Structure 1
Amino acid sequence: MAIKDPDHNTRIEKWKVFRDVCEARERLGVQDRALAVLDALLTFYPHGELDSSSGLVVFPSNAQLSVRAHGITESTLRRQLAALVEAGLILRRDSPNGKRYAHRSRDGEVEQAYGFDLTPLLARAHELAQIAQDVVAERTRFRRTKEALTICRRDVRKLISAAVEEGAPGNWGQVEAVYVDILARLPRYPERSQLELALDEMQLLRAEILNILEMQLKPENMHGNAVQDDRHIQNSNTESIYELEPSSGKEQGGNPEDERQAKSEANGGAKAKPEPIKAFPLGMVLRACPQIADYGPGGRIEN
């Protein structure tokens, strides 16, 4: 009905509509060669804008269409024209004898034409533009999800390799198996929903690996910070810290050796030298921040 009674005030730039069709081709179910044929049909329309008041029927011969469609064969041309009709992008206006031609007035104006009607492109211009926008947005979401999965996968791979090389405690073989399984379940050409599911699982795996490493480092950091805090309070307060805190090593969460060293300091003995704090393995640091090597002697960091 929209094609039969179009809005005569509607005008649209023909190549803009063509670009929208190209973006939406997968949803419309047309192939690349069909787009080449549609491009050729639009070249036979003399105006830059599709306007129903000036007639939207083009009537080239198959030979002319084949030349402008990059020399495709006549059988292929027929199939792609049928595909454009089926997709609702053009209409056939057949003449009594099946040929394509036009009746012109004495002034040369086309009064009646038989060929391919481009009115569907004008009538569906807004719809095609919306489909094209949706396709572009979906493609952007797909690309960003794929990039996020690539980055997360790279992080997990580096963390596992660094943990194994540094000898960090943990069942890294099982972690490696989970990592491989997540990637193995992805098809060769995945959809966005499949990528998002894999990304969620990979992010959870990365969080678990980081949690394992942090739990191993947490006791060392807590011990190192406690020693530093004890010394600072002793230097700034005349009262002993041990009058304010439990004296039992079990209650403090420490060990007897730490308690003996602390009591020795409180009694004026030699101050115990705190153990160095190992924040992260060297290999992990260098992989996460390779530029830091530029600040080391000779462009290397070995310890």
Structure 2
Amino acid sequence: MNYTQTAFTGRTGARPITALTRELTRRMKVVDESAVQISKQDARRVVKALKGAIAVSNGAIETLMDLVQLTWEADWAADRPLVVWPSNQHLADEVRKTVACIKARLRELRAAGLILARDSASGRRSGFRNRDGVIVEAYGLDLSPIRLRYAELKEAGDRLNALYALFKSGKKEIARVRRIVGQALAQAADLSLTGPHWMALQDAIDEIAFAAAQARTMGDREGYQAALDRLPGVEDLVGETIDRFMFTGPSRLEAAILARLKNEH
């Protein structure tokens, strides 16, 4: 790769040092034999699942995906350096964004502890591989935090996927119960049955749907589940209302049949 890039170092001439980057640097020095071995495909999958799962913009996650794509499969071995050295201009050209946009995304990724900067003395990104494709020397963007934090990042993505699955199944359940309520109200109207108890059924499902929508907007799993837990009660209420108010006397059809039988006798 022929791209080089002078690192942004800010006013002081040095990158900002944060507690998170220091913690990651310390952890990377410790060899953990129990660490999860991941592949490039694993890394791509876990990074893609981070959209919406952590406080990082989708644009920054897309740039992180581009950085992962620049690695070789062998780079993900536990004992290999995991560094890429594209210029900001190259990254910008790949996604048709400005260099300023790419710089902002990289700062966001560093602040979130998803990448580290491995700067050369000159502050330029560069690197080369030997004939076997192994990185011999590299200065640029270190993706080791993905490997180091793989289990944590995967859990964050899995939680979001589970939440989306809950929202999807919950939407279907609310629609199913709403249909039951609608059928009951339609039959009551057809039989000219009136009363607040019928409208109470509509109010009950509307309240649950509203509570679920509010919880979904807030990403509140517990609140959404609590709303869904009220659905069986609405189904029971529909059955009780039908039994009490729809079948307390003969229906119009039944009344007509009974009257005809009575006249025949």
TM-score, structure 1 length as denominator?
Answer: 0.62
Q: Quote the offset at 1:107 in angstroms.
A: 9.8
Query: Which residue is 1:189 aligned to?
Result: 217
Amino acid at match of 1:213: I
Q: RCO (CA 8 Å, sep 6+): is it higher in 1 or 2?
A: 2
Quote the residue 1:267 is aligned against: none
2:101 is the counterpart of 1:57 = no
Closer, same or farther in 2 for the Cα pair 1:109/1:199, shift >3 Å? closer
Whichever residue aligns with residue 38 of structure 2, its letter is I
CA contact (8 A) 1:182 1:202 kept: yes
1:13 lines up with 2:39 in the alignment: yes
Contact 1:103 1:110 in 2 (8 A): yes
Structure-2 change in CA distance of 1:198 and 1:78 (3 Å): same
The DSSP-based 3-state class of the residue aligned with 2:52 is: helix
| Structural mapping, 1:274-293, within 5 Å | 275=258
Change (3 A) 1:108 1:32: closer
For structure 1, list consecutive stretches of 5 or more residues without a partner in the other structure. Answer: 222-273, 277-303
CA contact (8 A) 2:40 2:72 kept: no
Contact 1:102 1:112 in 2 (8 A): yes
Compute the displacement of 1:94 (Å): 1.6
Query: Larger C-alpha radius of gyration, 1 or 2?
Result: 1
Alignment correspondent of 1:4:
29
Instruction: Give me the whole-angstrom Cα distance separating, in 1, the residues matched to 2:69 and 2:204.
Output: 56
Q: Distance in 1 between matches of 2:126 and 2:210?
A: 58
Residue in structure 1 matched with residue 160 of structure 2 by the alignment: 135
Q: Show the 5 A alignment for 1:36-185.
A: 36-47=62-73, 50-68=76-94, 70-102=95-127, 110-168=135-193, 170-171=195-196, 172-185=198-211
| Distance change (3 Å), C-alpha of 1:6 and 1:40 | farther
Deviation track 1:86-131 (CA, whole Å, cap 9, x = no partner) reads 2221100122222112377899964432111111111112222233
Q: Does the 8 A contact of 2:75 with 2:134 survive in 1?
A: no
Give the 3-state SS of the residue equivalent to 1:53 in structure 2. coil
Q: Sequence identity of aligned pairs in percent?
A: 26
> Structure 1 residue 211: deviation in Å?
0.8
Does residue 211 in structure 1 map to residue 236 in structure 2?
A: no
- CA distance in 1: counterparts of 2:134 and 2:244, whole angstroms: 84
**Could you tell me how far apart the structure 1 residues matched to 2:132 and 2:46 are?**
36
Q: 151-160 vs 204-213, which deviates more?
A: 204-213
The whole-number CA distance in structure 2 between the counterparts of 1:104 and 1:195 is 52
Counterpart residue identity of residue 209, structure 1: V
With structure 2 as the length reference, what TM-score do the two structures score? 0.70
Letter in 2 for 1:13: S
Decide which moves more: 78-87 or 126-135. 126-135
Structure 2 Cα separation of the partners of residues 19 and 128 of structure 1: 10
Conservation of the 8 A alpha-carbon contact between 1:52 and 1:119: no
User: What is the CA–CA distance in structure 1 between the aligned matches of 2:60 and 2:240, rounded to whole Å?
Assistant: 54
